[in-house]
Amino acid sequence: MNAKSVRESRAVKASMVLPPDTNHHGTMFGGKVMAYIDDIAAISATRHARMPVVTASTDSVDFLHPVRNGESVCLESFVTWTNKTSIEVFVKVVAENLLTGERNVCTTAFLTFVAVDTEGNPQLVPAVIPETELECFLHEGAPARADMRRKRRGVSKELAKRFGAAKEWERSLK
């Protein structure tokens, strides 16, 4: 399996922010931004793997700047690192006031995908070749981020085990 350059997975998506996309503050719904992030990251992961992928993890999404009604929102994504079957993708979201040209980074995020076959079994993926200074910076930090994800996933599993699938009212009857 041949390694692939980061640029082979790069994806860009731009969209106008319209009233149905916004909340009562006139800013884009956070959930809509997150859906856009997952969508474009999946495109990058699939381009890299050239097979189906599933979202395994989304690292924290911190909203740094609002995206307002009438602005454009532009997302850029690319694969930063891979493990055996997992693919880390970096996403940057930029808002642009189309009348003034002012642009602001709204958020950045890392997502992890797993390549799967038609039965949902994890599949091996190609390694990544970073070429630019930024790509190398993100690639070098990926193992530490993956370790943090493993630890966080362990906590999530423990919470799921403790809380279970029972509804709160069912627990109160016991």
pLDDT at 168: 64
In a domain, 163, yes or no: no
Strands 103-115 and 86-96: antiparallel
In a domain, 162, yes or no: no
In a domain, 174, yes or no: no
SS3 166: coil
Q: Which residue has the higher pLDDT, 160 or 23?
A: 23
Whole-structure pTM value: 0.91
| pLDDT band for position 64 (cuts 50, 70, 90) | very high
CA distances from 8 to 5, 155, 156, 172 (A): 6, 34, 33, 53
In a domain, 90, yes or no: yes
Question: Can you give the CATH number for the domain in which 56 is found?
Answer: 3.10.129.10
In a domain, 24, yes or no: yes
Nearest CA to 71 out of 34, 107, 28 is that of 28
Round to whole Å and give the CA distance between 105 and 9. 21
Give the list of residues 6+ apart from residue 41 with CB closer than 8 angstroms, or none. 55, 77, 89, 91, 109, 111, 113
pLDDT at 1: 82
Has residue 102 got a pLDDT over 80? yes
Count up the domains in the chain and report the number. 1
Domain span at residue 127 reads 4-141
Per-residue pLDDT tens over the stretch 138-159: 999 999 999 999 999 999 888 8
Nearest CA to 33 out of 87, 97, 106 is that of 106
In a domain, 106, yes or no: yes
